[in-house]
């Protein structure tokens, strides 16, 4: 409901450089960063100001060995014990940040006494990489197993025969050991023996990945933007600003340390299984044209001129999904081995156990196939007007109106009314009422992808499909429309003394038609509707139908999700900021700032796809009370800072119930033993700086100096670590602990 006023550096001379080095108290997360800023003259009165930054940061790990991986190390067969990744099969922590650099330029050159041409823009790149979920070699369905049976494939079959019998045996897996119960040594021994005696035409992933694997997901990001314009003032006092801007953001996805299971041994070349994949990319490209004017108008009845601002904007957004490498998304010959004749299913040599369907695509995220790729555009134009004046002395009133027309969902008109009344020189009231909107992005309406997620502690394949997909429509999806907002705020500004100031603002925000992903909608048991049966004849299920409709990896999906306008929320809160300037005479001076925020969100009219846990997270995941208390002290060339941050209690919804008859399903709060419920926390930061010769500054400091990792994941309190998390993954200040840093700055 407000405006962020970014002020760009415009110095035409001077140079500053700063080096920063830091590390997490635990010894990981090492940061190296260097930045520089310089100002340069362009002609007599023009300038160019350039900023550069480069940084790299190592990953962190706050992990404990997963229960199932620990069981394999202790009780698995020799190959498993030797090949489970250590010290942790799955890493929980911050990802690695590499080659992160940014260049930003701001410049302007006068063309006359009242006019200038300006330009600002940036270009940036970075690469990040982090871990996915661990794939257990005794239980990951569609990869190592088919239920309780080993996923052994017969390489003599083409993979699409109907009613055939495999020459391979049906082997029973000894289990994952993920429930904390040690593996049965006898079952492990028999499994190891059976795997070693498989016929030459029989192949299973354990042959090449005996210890399981954990995919590593990352992206290479490129970001660039540029704005050029001309601004000035006419003889009648009206100012103008004409500008054009473009922006491009591109991310190339990759997934390493995984494989495409459906290719089986066909994925082995030169004796090596392909483990790394290029998945394709997303790209957003935007073009903006703006014309803005401001005209002061003398009105005798008012205490000031009437400020009249008006303008127009045209914007075009283009979202693009680009194809990944073929091996990342193709369905290999071992994707479907059950055939299409229900009376004659493909079976192992026992004649009764069905052959496995192996997962399609790079396991974890299959990337983008030709059917998923595409380019989607949307254009809109807007016009606005704004009036502002001091109606009487110390009473300011403003009104703005904006109309926009989007070529996909139509028009929207919004307003803002604001006022400020200075009752005294030290005390003023202020308030505003406005409406707003947020348009759905082209990406939200068109993206299709399949990825692995954890649902109630179990790994499942989830697909995100566009709301216009036929299956999404079957499940209740509709084309996206904009979110609508109504905002009301009121507050006071009080200069209590010359050194103490206070602002208090209360706000009320109602959001309707909020856009969010649905909960996980189970589809593996839903039959294909008659209208889709020409493309997907029985006994194909809905998940397999998605595969046929062009979503790689969909055949083994457990659930799908799509974006929807499915609920409304009401948010109320209070912001309080107090600033106190202090003078200690010969002991220096200081400033103390206390900022406190209370925010409470209530979910209204939740649709059928917003499940109970989602409601709990919307209302309780973010702490309702948040406070920051900062003190700076200055004496000579020294500066000292202390900052204390307070986080109120929060809840991570983890009940997962979907039975309407269960009263807990309607409990929008903490259910001990089901939800993850945590108390309040404090974080303390300290910093000291010294400046000498008016040019050199040395800064040392520590964030979270008490090394607070946050609460232990409550799922671990029963003694089982499960997926390897040590601390809860939703801690608002992170779980890396303390971070110390050293900065050296020079100004010339």
Q: Tens of pLDDT along 334-355?
A: 887 655 455 667 788 888 888 8
Mean pLDDT, the chain, rounded, equals 89
Instruction: Tell me the whole-structure pTM to 2 decimals.
Output: 0.87
Instruction: Kindly state the average pLDDT of the residues 310-339.
Output: 88
Cα–Cα dist 418/433, whole Å:
7
| 351-384 as b/e: b if 16+ CB within 10 A | eebbbbbbbbbbbbbbbbbeebbeebebebebeb
Contact 62, 51 (CB under 8 A): no
Asked whether residue 722 carries a pLDDT value surpassing 70, the answer given is yes
The predicted-structure confidence for 475-515, as pLDDT tens digits, reads as follows: 788 888 899 999 999 999 999 999 999 999 999 999 999 88
Asked whether residue 457 carries a pLDDT value surpassing 50, the answer given is no
Q: Can you give the pLDDT at residue 518?
A: 78
Asked whether residue 2 carries a pLDDT value surpassing 70, the answer given is no
Cα torsion at 153, 148, 271, 220 (round to 10°)?
A: 110
Asked whether residue 603 carries a pLDDT value surpassing 90, the answer given is no
Q: How confident is the model at residue 667 (pLDDT cuts 50, 70, 90)?
A: low
Q: Can you give the pLDDT at residue 556?
A: 61
Q: How confident is the model at residue 468 (pLDDT cuts 50, 70, 90)?
A: confident
Q: Can you give the pLDDT at residue 216?
A: 95
User: Strand, helix or coil at 666?
Assistant: helix
Q: Can you give the pLDDT at residue 553?
A: 60
Asked whether residue 540 carries a pLDDT value surpassing 80, the answer given is no
Instruction: Kindly state the average pLDDT of the residues 38-53.
Output: 95
Give the whole-number percent of the chain exceeding pLDDT 90: 62
Q: How confident is the model at residue 548 (pLDDT cuts 50, 70, 90)?
A: confident
Q: How confident is the model at residue 4 (pLDDT cuts 50, 70, 90)?
A: low
Q: How confident is the model at residue 665 (pLDDT cuts 50, 70, 90)?
A: low
Q: Can you give the pLDDT at residue 116?
A: 96
Long-range contacts of 626-631 (CB under 8 A, 24+ apart): 626/596, 626/597, 626/598, 626/599, 627/594, 627/595, 627/596, 627/597, 628/593, 628/594, 628/595, 628/596, 629/592, 629/593, 629/594, 629/595, 630/592, 630/593, 630/595, 631/590, 631/591, 631/592, 631/593
Asked whether residue 598 carries a pLDDT value surpassing 60, the answer given is yes
522, exposed or middle or buried, with CB in 10 Å at 0-12, 13-18, 19+? middle
Instruction: Kindly state the average pLDDT of the residues 286-301.
Output: 96
427-438 vs 449-455, strand pairing mode: unpaired
Hey, how many other C-beta atoms are within 10 angstroms of the C-beta on 692? 10
Q: Can you give the pLDDT at residue 259?
A: 94
Asked whether residue 397 carries a pLDDT value surpassing 80, the answer given is yes
Top-confidence residue, 436 or 161: 436
Q: Can you give the pLDDT at residue 310?
A: 97
Supply angle C-alpha 572, 576, 579, rounded to 5. Answer: 165
* CA-wise closest residue to 281 among 133, 444, 122, 449: 449
Cα–Cα dist 745/593, whole Å:
25
Q: Can you give the pLDDT at residue 692?
A: 92
């Amino acid at each position: 409901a407000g405006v962020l006023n970014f002020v760009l550096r415009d110095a035409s001379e001077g140079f500053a450089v700063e080096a920063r080095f830091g590390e997490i108290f635990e010894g990981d997360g090492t940061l190296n960063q260097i930045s520089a800023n310089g100002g340069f003259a362009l002609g007599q009165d023009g300038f160019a100001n350039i900023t550069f930054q480069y940084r790299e940061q190592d990953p962190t790990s706050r992990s404990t060995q997963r229960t199932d991986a620990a069981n394999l190390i202790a009780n698995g067969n020799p190959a498993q014990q030797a090949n489970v990744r250590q010290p942790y099969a799955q890493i929980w922590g911050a990802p690695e940040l590499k080659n992160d650099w940014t260049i930003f330029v701001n410049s302007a050159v006068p063309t006359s006494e009242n006019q200038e041409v300006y330009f600002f823009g940036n270009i940036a790149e970075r690469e990040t990489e982090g871990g996915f979920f661990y794939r257990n070699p005794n239980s990951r369905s569609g990869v190592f197993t088919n239920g309780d049976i080993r996923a052994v494939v017969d390489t003599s079959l083409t993979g699409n025969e109907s009613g055939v019998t495999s020459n391979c045996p049906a082997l029973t897996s000894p289990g994952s050991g993920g429930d904390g119960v040690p593996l049965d040594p006898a079952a492990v021994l028999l499994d190891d023996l059976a795997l070693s005696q498989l016929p030459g035409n029989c192949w299973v992933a354990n042959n090449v990945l005996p210890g399981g694997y954990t995919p590593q997901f990352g992206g290479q990001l490129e970001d660039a933007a540029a704005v050029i314009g001309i601004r000035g003032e006419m003889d009648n006092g009206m100012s103008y600003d004409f500008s054009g801007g473009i922006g491009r953001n591109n991310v190339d996805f990759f997934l390493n340390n995984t494989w495409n299971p459906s290719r089986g041994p066909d994925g082995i070349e030169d004796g090596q299984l392909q483990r790394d994949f290029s998945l394709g990319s997303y790209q957003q490209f935007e073009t903006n044209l703006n014309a803005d004017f401001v005209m002061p108008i003398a009105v005798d009845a008012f205490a000031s001129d009437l400020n009249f601002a008006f303008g127009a904007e045209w914007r075009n957004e283009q979202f693009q999904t680009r194809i990944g490498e073929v091996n990342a998304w193709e369905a290999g010959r071992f994707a479907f081995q059950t055939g299409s004749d229900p009376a004659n299913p493909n079976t192992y040599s026992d004649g009764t156990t069905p052959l496995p369907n192996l997962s399609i695509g790079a396991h974890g995220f299959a990337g983008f196939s030709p059917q998923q790729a595409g380019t989607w555009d949307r254009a809109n134009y807007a016009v606005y007007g704004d009036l502002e004046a001091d109606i009487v002395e110390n009473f300011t009133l403003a009104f703005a109106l904006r109309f926009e027309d989007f070529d996909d969902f139509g028009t929207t008109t919004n307003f803002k009314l604001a006022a400020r009344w200075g009752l005294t020189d030290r005390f003023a009231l202020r308030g505003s009422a406005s409406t707003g909107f947020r348009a759905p992005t082209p990406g939200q309406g068109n993206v299709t992808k399949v990825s692995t997620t954890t649902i109630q502690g179990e790994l499942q394949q989830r697909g995100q499909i566009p709301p216009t997909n036929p299956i999404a429509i079957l499940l209740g999806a509709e084309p996206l429309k904009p979110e609508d907002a109504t905002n009301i705020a009121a507050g006071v500004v009080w200069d209590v003394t010359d050194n103490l100031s206070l602002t208090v603002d209360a706000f009320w925000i109602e959001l309707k038609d909020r856009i969010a992903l649905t909960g996980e909608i189970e589809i593996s048991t839903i039959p294909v509707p008659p209208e889709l049966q020409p493309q997907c004849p029985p006994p194909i299920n809905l998940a397999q139908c998605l595969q046929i409709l062009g979503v790689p990896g969909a055949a083994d999906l457990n659930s799908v999700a799509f974006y929807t306008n499915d609920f409304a929320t009401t948010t109320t809160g209070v912001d309080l900021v107090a600033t106190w300037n202090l003078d200690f005479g010969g002991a220096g001076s200081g400033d103390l700032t206390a900022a406190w925020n209370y925010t409470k969100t209530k979910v209204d009219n939740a649709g059928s796809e917003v499940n109970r846990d989602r409601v709990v997270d919307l209302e309780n995941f973010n702490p309702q009370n948040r406070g920051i208390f900062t003190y700076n002290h200055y004496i000579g060339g020294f500066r000292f800072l202390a900052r204390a941050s307070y986080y109120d209690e929060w809840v991570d919804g983890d009940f997962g119930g979907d039975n309407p008859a269960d009263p807990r399903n309607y409990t929008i709060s903490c259910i001990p033993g089901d939800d993850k419920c945590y108390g309040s926390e404090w974080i303390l930061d300290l910093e000291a700086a010294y400046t000498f010769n008016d040019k050199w500054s040395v800064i040392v400091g520590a964030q979270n100096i008490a090394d607070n990792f946050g609460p232990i994941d409550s799922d671990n309190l029963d003694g089982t670590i499960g997926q390897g998390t040590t601390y809860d993954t939703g801690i608002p200040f992170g779980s890396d602990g303390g971070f110390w840093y050293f900065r050296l700055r020079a100004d010339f």
